[in-house]
Amino acid sequence: MAFINLQNVTYQYPLTKTPVLQNINLQVNEGEFVAVIGPNGAGKSTLCYALAGFVPHFFKGEISGSIEVAGVESSKSTLDEWVMNVGLAFQNPFNQISGAKYTVFEEIAFGLENSGVPREEMKARVEEAMKLTDISDLADRSPYSLSGGQQQRVALTSILVMQPKLLVLDEPTSQMDPIGTREVFSVVRKMAEGGMTVVMVEHKMEWIAQFADRVIALKDGQILLEGKPNEVLTSNILAENGFGVSRYTSTAREAKKQGLWRKENLPVTLDEAVEGFVKRDE
């Protein structure tokens, strides 16, 4: 059975007049890495909240359908129980610092401390997680005097360190430098290979195509397309619906008209692009 199972989920916030999620059906297997893309206001963050239990436990509003993770139904669970399995990195990393801790190390250890993990194990896990996100040198710094990208790394690390069964990441690389972004994708890929289930909202198509197993394209609260990264990300439907595309894709689409792209499928990654472009004189 699927690890995440959403059946006909329709949801609206107390103040919205129309549903923000409409009839969402989604199954994700354990250890799968799914990327969610979509224009602003599509409902990506709301979907993250639904997976993380904030909808409906925190945001209230009207919900129908069922949300199941690891065989447990959200409506029959409490938020406290739910967060034992699910970790969410919020879209805005600036608001995610606990406010209770003086150093980055303690900030990241906060969750483990609360769940009673022994001191030695805690220390080892925090150090390991900080290595993954390349922030070991920030350990003794104050969590309040960090750059944007550093804050985002700290926020991400404090979720990773909990090793949740389901990792929900809402634009986790929005403040990160380009090479750091690629590294985060690669770390997340490794986590998924280790059995963690990952749902990640992102705009960076090149890395989605390279690292994710599946892509969900969301628009106006509905799933517009779903499938293998290359298929979804090169679809004309995306370009027509205001989704961003990789430069490789948009350029190959144009090059095809000029006879400079020789393959049937369009590229999303650099390697795919290298294989299909032809110079005029070749």
Partner 1 sequence: MKIQIDNLRFTYPTGLEVLRGISLSIEAGEQVAIVGQNGAGKTTLVRHFNGLLQPASGSVMIGDWDTKKTSVAKLASRVGYVFQNPDEQLFSKDVATEIRFGPRNLGYSKEKIDELVTRALALTELSDKTETNPYDLSPTWRKMVALASVIAMDTPIVIFDEPTTGQDAVNVARIAHVIAELHREGKTVITITHDIDFCAENFERVIALSKGQILLDGPAREVLGQEEILAQTYVDPPQLTRLGKRLGLKETVRNQDEFLSAMRK
Ligand X SMILES: Nc1ncnc2c1ncn2[C@@H]1O[C@H](COP(=O)(O)OP(=O)(O)OP(=O)(O)O)[C@@H](O)[C@H]1O
Q: Which residues bind Mg ion (CB under 5 A)?
A: 44-45, 91, 147-148
Q: Which amino acid is residue 215, in one-letter code? A: V
Of 37 and 273, which CB lies nearer to Mg ion in the complex structure?
37
Q: Decide: is 244 part of the binding site for partner 1 (CB under 8 A).
A: yes
Note whether 92 binds partner 1 by CB under 8 A.
yes
Question: Cβ distance 161 to 127 under 8 Å?
Answer: no
Query: Of the ranges 64-72, 100-108, 118-126, 273-281, which one interacts with partner 1 (CB under 8 A)?
Result: 273-281
Residues ≥6 apart with Cβ < 8 Å to 23: 8, 9, 10, 65, 222
> How many residues in the chain?
282
76 or 280: CB nearest partner 1: 280
Q: Tell which residue, 280, 57, 87, 66, has the closest CA to residue 199.
A: 87
Comparison of 13 and 277: residue with beta carbon closer to ligand X: 13
Cα dist from 154 to 132, 145, 217, whole Å: 11, 12, 28
Residue closer to ligand X by CB (options 31, 65) is 65
Out of 5, 149, 187, 239, the residue judged to bind ligand X by CB under 6 A: 149
To partner 1, the closest distance from the beta carbon of 4 in angstroms equals 24
Binds 95, which of ligand X, Mg ion, partner 1, none (CB < 5 to 8 A, cut-off by type)? partner 1
Binding status of residue 146 toward ligand X by CB under 6 A: yes
- Pairing state between β 4-12 and 33-37: unpaired
**What's the CA gap between 100 and 98, in Å, rounded?**
5
- Is residue 195 a contact point for partner 1 (CB under 8 A)? no
Name residues contacting ligand X, limited to 89-128 (CB under 6 A). Answer: 91
Inter-residue contact 192 to 213 (CB < 8 Å) = yes
Contact partner at residue 244 from Mg ion, ligand X, partner 1, none, CB < 5 to 8 Å by partner kind: partner 1
179 binds ligand X (CB under 6 A): no
Asked whether position 16 contacts partner 1 by CB under 8 A, the answer is no
Check binding of 143 to ligand X (CB under 6 A): no
In the complex with ligand X, which residue's Cβ is closer, 122 or 184? 184
Instruction: At 37, give phi and psi (nearest 5°).
Output: -120, 165
280 binds partner 1 (CB under 8 A): yes
> Which strands make up the sheet holding 166-170, listed edge to edge?
86-89, 166-170, 197-201, 33-37, 214-219, 222-227
